């Protein structure tokens, strides 16, 4: 099964209509320029799901360096040229609790790049820099007990904890079955004196293991296809929001 990673961003309400137009319409627009080369963002809508959201594939240009070796002088030269990356699947949600939230189905660095580009495009009609996208966060520390108590979730099988309150230990990574029943879990996760901050935890949902990261990412090694898994991402966030474990 393929890996699947989704990073979630909230689009500011004043820009919501512009975001809908951006992802619903096929087209290309320039979002920047480097080394004299225009950088384009290409949108290819896939399908609209009424009252739920818009599934879209996007492409973007980035600058790469092409190295050339002269066979006579053995001199190496480099040329800066644009290279198009993609497709990257994105989903613009319209359904609560993800109203006007963008899910980027890509690794962390690519998701951040897409968010950066979208922020530039949505802010092109404003003077000076503006922040039109905000990162969604999962409150794993504050709502750890409530998250584990969600009926559809089961089996904490992996957890990463940082900033451990111990002179000799900085971080703990545990993996196993039913970790929340282990004494080490109580010591490094739930104990107010020795416990640290949860970076991610892994729970089972519908027979798949999902990693929930505090920075708003959802990841699974049992991915299927973003064209189908946009729905399970919404289901997970909906259940987390029901215990106030989502900051949007």
In this prediction, residue 225 carries a pLDDT of 84
* Higher pLDDT, residue 176 or 1: 176
* Higher pLDDT, residue 139 or 125: 139
Nearest of 2, 4, 6 to residue 213 by alpha carbon: 6
In this prediction, residue 1 carries a pLDDT of 47
Q: Kindly report, residue by residue over 73-120, the tens digit of the pLDDT.
A: 889 888 999 999 999 999 999 999 999 999 999 999 999 999 999 999
In this prediction, residue 48 carries a pLDDT of 95
Cβ neighbourhood burial of 55 (10 Å; 0-12, 13-18, 19+): buried
pLDDT at 128 over 80: no
Alpha carbon distance 35, 140 (integer Å):
43
Nearest of 133, 124, 193 to residue 165 by alpha carbon: 193
Of the chain, the end-to-end C-alpha distance in Å amounts to 30
pLDDT at 4 over 70: yes
Angle between helices 108-122 and 16-24 (to 10 degrees): 110
Alpha carbon distance 60, 176 (integer Å):
40
Q: Kindly report, residue by residue over 130-156, the tens digit of the pLDDT.
A: 788 999 999 999 999 999 999 999 889
Band (pLDDT 50/70/90 cuts) for residue 127 is low
Band (pLDDT 50/70/90 cuts) for residue 191 is confident
Q: Kindly report, residue by residue over 205-247, the tens digit of the pLDDT.
A: 999 999 999 999 999 999 888 888 999 999 999 999 999 999 9
In this prediction, residue 166 carries a pLDDT of 83
Mean pLDDT value across residues 30-38? 94
């Amino acid at each position: 099964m393929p890996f699947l990673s989704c990073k979630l961003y909230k689009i500011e309400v004043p820009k919501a209509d512009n975001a809908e137009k951006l992802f619903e319409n096929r087209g290309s627009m320039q979002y920047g320029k480097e080394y004299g080369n225009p950088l384009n963002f290409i949108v290819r809508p896939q399908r609209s799901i009424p009252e739920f959201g818009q599934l879209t594939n996007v492409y973007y240009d980035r600058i790469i360096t092409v190295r050339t070796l002269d066979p006579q002088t053995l001199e190496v030269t480099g040329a800066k040229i644009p290279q198009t990356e993609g497709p990257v699947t994105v989903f613009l949600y319209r359904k609560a609790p993800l109203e006007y939230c963008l899910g980027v189905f890509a690794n962390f660095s690519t998701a951040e790049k897409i968010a950066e580009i979208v922020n530039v495009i949505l802010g092109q009609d404003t003077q000076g820099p503006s922040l039109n996208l905000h990162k969604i966060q999962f409150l794993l520390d504050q709502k750890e007990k409530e998250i584990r108590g969600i009926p559809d979730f089961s089996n904490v099988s992996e957890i990463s904890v940082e900033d451990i309150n111990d002179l000799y230990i900085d971080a703990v990574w545990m993996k196993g079955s039913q970790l929340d029943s282990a004494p080490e879990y109580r010591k490094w996760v739930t104990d107010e004196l020795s416990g640290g901050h949860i970076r991610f935890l892994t729970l089972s949902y519908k027979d798949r293991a999902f990693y929930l990261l505090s920075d708003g990412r959802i990841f699974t090694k049992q991915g299927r296809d973003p064209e189908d898994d946009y729905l399970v991402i919404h289901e997970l966030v909906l259940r987390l929001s029901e215990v106030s474990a989502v900051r949007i």
